Amino acid sequence: MEHFRRPRRLRATPQIRNLVAETHLHREQFILPMFVREGLDRPAPIAAMPGVVQHSTASAVEEVRSLLDHGVTSVLLFGVTDHKDEDGSYACRADFVLQRTIQELKETFGDTVFVISDLCLDEYTTHGHCGVLDERGRVDNDRTLIRYQVLAQSLAQAGVDMVAPSGMMDHQVAAIREALDDSDAIDCGILAYSAKYGSALYGPFREAVDVEIANGGDRRAYQQDYRNQREALLEVELDLTEGADMVMVKPASFYLDVLSKVRSVCPVPLAAYQVSGEYSMIVAAAAAGYIDRQQTIQESLTAIVRAGADCVLTYFAKEAAAWL
């Protein structure tokens, strides 16, 4: 029988694997979500998110200084306060911790750091919803947009580089863009939470921002149903039409199919948020010895980028950057 010669494959050394790898992580892709809370004089640990803290303005500045040393240049800020009311008006104050931290970061680091601010109301309302409620206890979309406009202008006045509306209100991008243009904040961008799903993975985050939805309610009326994919494409299209500079898929790891679909139709930069539940599951499993922490973090972030994300919001930003 004539001998059959098969093509010989090169030995897959680490050098060859790195040479031909299709997906690479780099530090500039990472955005670190950070929590700043009023009344703190030192960082306060978040029990549900080991290793993550609520910052004072001073400690947030030091954390960003350390981030920059690691090559991470972008942050997303969330404000936390005990001063809550029905429509979240306290968050619109010029002296609120969110605005003060934005000002301090920009005065200290200038354009070296790119500062994004969450733009929502759940952290600042007594009822824990992302918008203003009507007399029947339902979120009033149009009244909420007015509050979003005021908050956007306040954040822009503080010097934020980009706002990230996360409330999933209809036409929120158009309303915010109009408000920013009216206040001559033409350099302030909008990162739209275009495909934000009603997920079980947000639990640790609610401890981080001290939010509890009144009467055991939920946000299914305005966040997306995790059974749907085409809906995400429609939401992205609407946000792009209204002027979004970037769009986001949230959460990330359970929604890589959505992320990939959005990438195929999205002409602007695409972000994915590796949310609190994703973070805490990896941390807990690694602490129990079930998985290798570093390898799992790297693999999870690579999967998100491989699926199409240009940048990743992740609580592992500084840790992962140190390995790259």
The set of catalytic residues is 196, 250
| Contact present, 35 and 209 (Cβ < 8 Å) | yes
| Strands 114-119 and 246-250, sheet pairing | unpaired
Cite the DSSP H helix spans in the chain.
14-20, 57-69, 97-109, 141-158, 172-182, 203-208, 230-241, 256-265, 276-287, 293-306, 317-323
Cα separation, 278 vs 186, in Å, equals 35
Q: How far apart are CA 180 and CA 285, in angstroms?
A: 43
Beta pairing, strands 311-314 & 30-37: parallel
User: What are the angstrom distances between the C-alpha of 232 and each of 4, 32, 148?
Assistant: 51, 24, 22
Mode of pairing for the β-strands spanning 311-314 and 189-196? unpaired
Phi and psi, residue 286, nearest 5°: -65, -40
Structure tokens of 304?
């998100």
The pair phi, psi for residue 229, each rounded to 5°, is -115, -45
Q: Any bridge partners for residue 240, and if so which?
A: none
Maximum CA extent, the chain: 87
Q: Is 311 helix (H, G, I), strand (E, B) or coil?
A: strand
- How many whole angstroms separate alpha carbon 120 and alpha carbon 169? 10
Angle made by CA atoms 289, 290, 295, in degrees to the nearest 5? 90
